[in-house]
Chains A and B, each alone.
Chain A
Amino acid sequence: MSDDRIIRNHPFDPQRELALFEAGLSASGAVVSFTGIVRPGDSSDPVEALELQHHPRLTEPQIAQCAGGVRERFGLEAVLVRHRIGRMAPGDTIVLVAAASAHRREAFEGADALMDWLKTEAMFWKKEWRLSGPQWIEPRTDDYADARRWQEEIYARHQ
């Protein structure tokens, strides 16, 4: 059974999600995927857990809308997004993004653009629990610069 929910509050298997995504394609010759994993931190101050909040009503439709915009903009056959919320351990999958298109360039760019948007615009809040204590992780300057590469045409109407 395929499960179309973008937001997941329990671990999901990125390989299985990707296999289901690929099985549903009929016109693509290229699939690019990205998997984000909880980092272990450094040995002097290891990460014990990562906690993700979301907006219970807005986050999922917001992502669906952006994914639709990316699909249109890059002429993709399909786009996949799976995103964890709740408490995760190092090594757990946080996010899976995939883009499928006739040829590789659009799939690479679509996946890249969607990740840049997720990093800076998707309604999630991350708290890292380290040995030394909790800390909120907000987007870095580089994340905003990455997102600006795609500006306006995709994001402006999807915020």
Chain B
Amino acid sequence: MVRIVFFGRLSDASENLDTELPSGVENTEALAVWLAEGNERLAEAMARPGIRVIVNDEVRHGPASVADGDEIAFMSPVGGG
């Protein structure tokens, strides 16, 4: 089981999920593709520039491996102030 959480615009497109990783989905890039299948709103939001990915509270640049027990966060562009 992995936990998938969404922040910002992405959080409007999908609820947070606890799910089994489908076979063949071994990194964050494949996971994003799998999540966006059948969710047009999420696909549109994920295709925007500036999405950041965090695995187990660590920012990852580029595809990062995912495994059972991980928490993966997908974040829309950040900005406060």
- Contacts from A to B (Cβ < 8 Å): 36, 52-55, 57-58, 83, 94-95, 115, 118-126, 136-139, 143, 159
Is A118 in contact with B81, judged by CB distance below 8 angstroms?
A: yes
A78 to B77: give the CA distance in the assembly, Å: 29
Partner of B81, one of A53, A55, A58, A119: A119
Is A124 in contact with B78, judged by CB distance below 8 angstroms?
A: yes
Task: Flag whether B41 is at the interface (Cβ < 8 A).
Answer: no
Interface residues on B, range: 10 to 19
Q: A53-B7, A119-B80, A122-B80 are known contacts; what are 8 more A-B pairs with Cβ within 8 Å?
A: A52-B80, A53-B11, A58-B57, A125-B78, A126-B80, A136-B8, A136-B76, A159-B59
Q: A53-B7, A125-B7 are in contact. Are A94 and B81 (CB under 8 A)?
A: yes
A120 to B57: give the CA distance in the assembly, Å: 19
Task: Flag whether B75 is at the interface (Cβ < 8 A).
Answer: yes
Q: Inside 8 A of A95's CB, which chain B residues have their CB?
A: 80-81
B78 CB to nearest A CB, Å: 5
Is B75 in contact with A123, judged by CB distance below 8 angstroms?
A: yes
A14 to B81: give the CA distance in the assembly, Å: 14
Q: Inside 8 A of B9's CB, which chain A residues have their CB?
A: 125, 136, 138
Q: Inside 8 A of B78's CB, which chain A residues have their CB?
A: 120-125, 139
A118 to B8: give the CA distance in the assembly, Å: 16
B73 to A, closest residue via Cβ = A55
Is A122 in contact with B57, judged by CB distance below 8 angstroms?
A: no
Is B57 in contact with A57, judged by CB distance below 8 angstroms?
A: yes
A12 CB to nearest B CB, Å: 15
Is A138 in contact with B80, judged by CB distance below 8 angstroms?
A: no
Q: Inside 8 A of A118's CB, which chain B residues have their CB?
A: 79-81
B12 CB to nearest A CB, Å: 8
> What 9 A-B pairs have minimum CB-CB distances, sorted nearest first?
A124-B80, A125-B8, A139-B79, A122-B80, A119-B81, A118-B81, A138-B77, A136-B9, A118-B80
